Amino acid sequence: MSIRHYNSRRNRRSGISHRAQVLLQTILGITILLQISYPLISGEALRVVTIATVYFSALTMVLHAFYSFGPKYVSIYLPITFLFGFGIEQLGMRTTWPFGSYTYDSSLGFQILGLPLVVPFAWVMMCHPVLVVARRISKNWVFLFGGIAMMGWDLFLDPQMVADHRWVWSFTGAHVPFAKNIPLSNAFGWLFAGIAITALLHVILPRDRRKSSAGFAVVDIFMLWTLFAGVVGNLFFFSRPGVGFLGGLVLGAIMVPYAFSRWLGRP
């Protein structure tokens, strides 16, 4: 009698084609190079790089979602995330809830109903990797970890965009620690919005990957780079050590257990 080791069919996956892998890695590489150039340029070049970074990042994550989970996942993820980002930003601009009172500058490019098109694509850029991370580290609290991750990312984003005059806040009262130009309500707004979109995506998006699936290295690199660049950029380039510390603390609280789970935990 022989004993055979059984592997379930869902775990029998091959990688994506070499051409697809090269495409995915190239778009990710361009994204990171754009971010590296950010503190080294100014003026119109900086404006173009700011917008291009979001679009290339969003493209990277949509491609990864397609190669990992398939067209059904992308056909749900892309419109839902874009419309959620568009809707909650419109709500925020017109009612001040949940983020506070703010206005976008025209330097962010083409606008729809006063909202720069690049803004909802920033939601597309972040929600897929955040969902992957949150699903990895939790089964029952995916929505909460997703909300914290989104808030941590924005703790890096808002101070930089305000400093570059991409948007401006109008408020009195409490502000985000180390960021006097940003209301505390914005941090809680991002926590709430992050919880809402992560919970929605977790419910409606499949978890099973394609048989020929991309690995998660692209998500690992993108999210860890976001953490690293946020901390290092604020410490050494933007003279905002407090922002680097706070954003690093919040986003790091999610990325540290994720990293341990990815490299030391279950396959």
Q: Nearest 5°: phi and psi at 238?
A: -105, 0
Give the per-residue pLDDT at 128.
98
Alpha-carbon distances, residue 51 vs 114, 166, 231, 237 (angstroms)? 16, 11, 21, 20
92 burial via Cβ count (<10 Å: 0-12, 13-18, 19+): buried
3-state secondary structure of 233: helix
Q: What does the pLDDT read at residue 5?
A: 44
The two structure tokens encoding residue 11 = 């775990």
Q: 169 forms bridges with which residues in the sheet?
A: 102
DSSP state of 14: B
Looking at residue 230, its pLDDT comes to 98
> What's the distance, CA 235 to chain centroid?
21
pLDDT score at 264: 78
In the chain, what are the domain boundaries?
16-264
Q: How many residues does the chain have?
A: 267
Residue pair 107/47 in contact by the 8 Å Cβ criterion: yes
How far apart CA 94 and CA 107 sit, in angstroms, is 20
At residue 12, the pLDDT reads 53
Q: Which stretches in the chain have pLDDT values below 50?
A: 1-11
Predicted pLDDT of residue 1: 45
Position 89 scores a pLDDT of 98
pLDDT tens column, 195-208: 999 999 999 999 99
Please give the structure tokens belonging to residue 188: 């809680």
